[in-house]
Amino acid sequence: MSNCTIRLMLGNHAIAHGALEAGIAVAAGYPGTPSSEIIEYLIDYGKEFGVYAEWSSNEKVAFEVAYGAALTGARSMVTMKHVGLNVAMDPLMSSAYTGVRGGFVIVTADDPNMWSSQNEQDNRWVGLHAYIPVLEPYDPQSAKDFAKIAFEFSERYGHPVMLRTVTRVSHVRGPVTICSPGIPKYSKEYVKDPRRHALIPANARALKEDLLRRWDSISKGVEELPHTYIDGDKNLIITSGVAFTYALEAVKGYGVKASILNVATPVPLPKKVIMDAVTRADKVIVIEEGDPVLEYQLKALLYDEGVRVPVLGKAENIFNRLVN
C-alpha cells in the first residue's frame, strides 16, 4: 500500500475516511448522536480534496441532497442517527425503486440501550422493508473498510446501500489503516430520465419489477463480501456487527469451544455462506445487538432449506432483549 499509515481513530472518523478513500464527492447529514462526527470529519478534511459536505436543515433534506447527487452519477453519502431515518423515509423508499448512477451510502447510527435517544429502533428492519442491503461493521477498521465497500457495491448494482453502525462502533477508538483520499467522483451531467425519476404509478409499477430483479442480483452479490468464518467446533455462533467482537472476547475469555461466523450483511443474508457453516454445526447461537433481525431470517432460511438445527438467541430469551 502506498501513502498509508495506522492511526488511532474514532469509529465515525474511520467511516468518514473510508468515504474519502472511496472518492466521495457529496456528503450531507443532520446532527444526532451517535452519528455527528462523520459529517464533522468530512467538513474538516474533505474540503481540501474537493468534497462538498453540508449540515442540512433536517434528515429528509440531507437525504435528498445526497440522493440527488447519486442520481446524477456522483458518489454521495447521507448520515443521521437511527430515529432520523424516519424523517427521511419517503425519499428512502423511492431510492430503491429508482436506483442510482453513482455510489450512494446511507449511514444510520443506531443507539442500542438508548444512551442518547428516545428509543432503540433497529434500522436493519428498514433494510428489509425498503429492499436496501445493509452492511454492518464491528470495529473502527471494519467501519472504514465497509464504507469503501458500500460505495463500490452500490455503484456495481446501481442501488443505495445502508451502512448500519451503532454507538459502540461509532464512539470507540481503535487502530485503523488509512490511505490517501481518492479523487472525488462527481458527475459531468444529469441525464433526464422521466420514466425512472418521476415515480407516478405507471412508472413505479415497472420499476418495482426492476427492483425485484436487482434485489435478486444483490442477494447473490452479498455472498462475495468479506464475511468472517473461524472454524473451532460443532457449536456455531453466528454474529453481525459489534456482536462479533463480543463473541470473540467471550470465546477467548471463557474458553468456549465454538466456530464463529460473522456476516457482513444482515440484510440480505449471504445464504450460501451461512448454509455452508450451519451444515457443519450441531447447534447455532445467534448474537446480535438490537432486535433478532438476523435470527428471524436465519430460522426462515433453515426452514426453507429443510435443515433442523437448534437455533438459540434473543427470540428464545437466551439473551435478554432488554440488555445490550
Q: Do both 259 and 276 map to the same domain?
A: yes
Distances (CA, A) of 77 to 74, 83, 102, 184: 10, 17, 10, 12
Give me the mean pLDDT over the 118-126 stretch: 96
CATH code at 237? 3.40.50.920
Q: Do both 217 and 242 map to the same domain?
A: no
What is the rounded CA–CA span in Å between residue 306 and residue 121? 32
Give me the mean pLDDT over the 172-197 stretch: 95
Q: Do both 179 and 94 map to the same domain?
A: yes
Confidence at residue 205, expressed as pLDDT on a 0 to 100 scale: 96
For 278-314, what is each residue's pLDDT tens digit? 999 999 999 999 999 999 999 999 999 999 999 999 9
- Please state, rounded to an integer, the average pLDDT across all residues of the chain: 96
Residue 163 has pLDDT above 70, yes or no: yes
The DSSP-derived string for 84-109 is HHHHTHHHHHHHHHH--SS-EEEEEE
**134 phi, psi to nearest 5 deg:** -120, 120
Q: Do both 231 and 218 map to the same domain?
A: no
Confidence at residue 1, expressed as pLDDT on a 0 to 100 scale: 43
Q: Do both 169 and 263 map to the same domain?
A: no
Q: Do both 85 and 193 map to the same domain?
A: yes
The answer to whether residue 323 sits within a structural domain is no
Q: Do both 123 and 171 map to the same domain?
A: yes
Q: Do both 245 and 183 map to the same domain?
A: no
Half-sphere exposure of 15 (CA within 13 A, CB side): 36
The top-scoring range by mean pLDDT among 124-133, 184-193, 249-258 is 124-133
Is the distance from CB of 285 to CB of 312 less than 8 angstroms? yes
Q: Do both 113 and 201 map to the same domain?
A: yes
Q: Do both 180 and 271 map to the same domain?
A: no
What is the rounded CA–CA span in Å between residue 257 and residue 112? 28
For 11-58, what is each residue's pLDDT tens digit? 999 999 999 999 999 999 999 999 999 999 999 999 999 999 999 999
Give me the mean pLDDT over the 101-125 stretch: 96
Q: Do both 135 and 236 map to the same domain?
A: no
How many domains does the chain fold into? 2
322's grid cell:
432488554
